Chains A and B, each alone.
Chain A
Amino acid sequence: MADSTETQTERAPLPLGPNPRFITENFEVPGIDQIEVYRAHGGYEALAKALKSFQPDELVEEVKKSGLRGRGGAGFATGLKWSFLPKESPKPRYLCVNGDESEPGTFKDRMIMEVSPHLLVEGVIIASYATKVHHAFIYVRGELLKAGLQVERAVREAVEAGFIGKDILGSGFDLAITVHHGAGAYICGEESALLESLEGKRGYPRLKPPFPAVVGLYSGPTVINNVETLAALPAIARYGADAYAAYGTEKSKGTRVYCLSGHVNRPGNYEAPLGLSLRTLIEDLGGGMRDGRAVKAIIPGGSSSPMLGADKLDLPLDYEAVAAAGSMLGSAGVIVVDDQTCIVGATLRMSEFYRDESCGKCTPCREGTFWLVQLVERLEAGEGRESDIDLLLDICDNMFGKCFCPLGDAATSCIVSSIKLFRDEYIHHVREHACLVGPGATRAHATAEAHAR
């Protein structure tokens, strides 16, 4: 596994210094959410350049060259995804922006939409031009009221300024953008469920193939991209693909906004190149662990990604390295868990999320997530049996890869990984009717003991 930090220092000189902020550069500027301020800081110049200097297909190539990959979870190459759109199609094509951010541990898209909505809007216009789309939809999670209103206002301002509408900046390119508010359903972040939701239906995932690039919104060819993915486009248009690709690791280019949460001194969003080590993120940027505690586990890519042990602190946070370590970078929602946390309790909380958010369309996920919660609940309460632990793994095995969409797989991550790393702690719950660490370690388990007798 290549050490990314070294690769970076070797590949000098870096065009924009050691730590460029392609996304968050102007986020501290007061009023950057207003179009005048955004423009005063170079806003919409990247759009003008993209329209003037690139034909749409050239722009797709430029984005391919930048190495940009999806920031929504799967990490699919953005330019490549765009090139899957059929050249000709009888139906109109669409761009759908995924602003449904609901993955536990993830809070970057909300920040981008609230703080700098024009950055997203500019990215959306650039992407629409590249993919020859004339109607884009921005799907904002319903609970993120302020984010949705900020994006709506930014779109209105951009229409008034002539960046959205007919013949944008004299380029002949037309675009309409509709902001759409969700209504509370994690599953609508899954791209095909998002399309169903946008069509006014229950958010049930669709069977793939056909993929949305071929049959998407209103059966037309459709691109779906995450907010952060699109927010990187103005910087790529402005500085060029090579400047962007000068950062990160061999296959994971550019920067990411890492969402750091949990037991660190300074949780928050940090933009840094891909390949940043977990240790640097936690110790240097996050100010170390709270109360001088030790790291017990790290969930590197939102609660859907398997947790890693403290032995993985030197792991570079890029798609390949995290995958090789048995997890995934996903949404880069890095959740840090300290040594005083009962892992069974934390796993229970994560499992409840998937039970509550399972859409109910397919049986393994609908039934499996309930069953998993029942078992973990019983174990956490000190009322479980040792055989429950293997039963959990067995249920996970029956779910993984067998559900209609990846939500079912995601539900198994925390359970399988926590048992693998901390089986002793599960056994302790069974034998001692108490947690190994944390407040539950000393609790009196009168009922549990009576039960066991």
Chain B
Amino acid sequence: MVSEALKAQMRETVARYPLARSAMLPCLHLAQDELGYLPDEAIVAVAEAIGVKSDEVESVVTFYSMFHQEPKGRHVIKVCASVSCYLMGCDAVIDRLERRLGVRRGETTPDGRFTLEAVECLAACGMAPALQVNGEFVEQVSPERAERLVTFLEEGGDMAQVRNYWRQFSDGAGMATETEIGVTTEASDNGVSNTKKVR
């Protein structure tokens, strides 16, 4: 159900733009965040809010990979499969998750708890391989760590706790899920001696 509150939020969003239609993506995000996906009634509501036909909204929905017209699992795990993560072994992470969850990439577990996806570059190449759970980053994942992450989520853990969780369980290198800065100071004789790794 598209609530009155959601409709009001959409109207507010429309008012922030010089042209109502610019609120298309923001309104779709609002609806999807609230409903979990974009059923027809959400598309109708967005169309009403910005004053276009439903067809036009649907044509936008099908263009952008983050919008989906079917529900997904409670935890959506997106594993980056682009080249830097590939070089660092993301395929093994995806394979392990497929086996652990008993689904193929792109599928949702029958209990509706997990959706597994292989996605394009997530801008985490320096911390590869990387994945996101419901939009939050978990970086430098090995197949083992990915498996432990699933167990952790199955046991009711949520992403807010994941950061601490990695600190607790990470083996050696440390699992940075967050901005990790100022890691190393390099001494060298080439005029860039104080160049630090900034992330």
Contact = CB atoms under 8 A, between A and B. Distances in A.
B142 to A, nearest CB: 14
Nearest to B188: A284
A115 interface: yes
Contact of A142 (B52, B64, B128): B64
Given A8-B191, A183-B29, A259 B125 contact: yes
Interface residues on B, range: 35 or more
B83 interface: yes
Interface residues of A, number: 78
Nearest to B140: A267
A200 B24 contact: yes
Interface string A196-207: 011111110000
Contacts of B193: 18-19
A104 B84 CA distance: 7
Interface of A is mostly: mixed
Interface stretch (A37-45, A167-175, A346-354, A429-437): A346-354
B122 A143 contact: yes
Given A19-B194, A141-B123, A269-B199, A105 B25 contact: no
A114 B179 contact: yes
Interface string B110-154: 000000000111111111100010011100000000000000000
B124 A200 contact: no
B198 A27 contact: yes
B170 interface: no
A182 interface: yes
B1 interface: no
Interface string A1-45: 000010011000000011101001001100000000000000000
A28 B190 contact: no
Interface of A: 5, 8-9, 17-19, 21, 24, 27-28, 92, 101-107, 109-111, 114-115, 135, 141-146, 178, 180-186, 197-203, 218, 257, 259-263, 266-273, 276, 280, 284-285, 287, 299, 303, 333, 335, 337, 341, 346, 349-350, 353, 356-357, 359
Given A271-B198, A333-B125, 20 more contacts: A18-B191, A19-B192, A28-B196, A92-B18, A105-B121, A106-B123, A142-B25, A142-B64, A143-B78, A143-B122, A183-B29, A199-B22, A200-B22, A261-B84, A261-B126, A268-B197, A272-B192, A280-B190, A285-B186, A353-B82
19 contacts: A5-B191, A9-B191, A27-B199, A104-B83, A107-B199, A111-B198, A142-B66, A178-B17, A180-B22, A186-B120, A203-B64, A257-B198, A267-B84, A267-B126, A267-B128, A268-B127, A280-B192, A284-B192, A353-B83
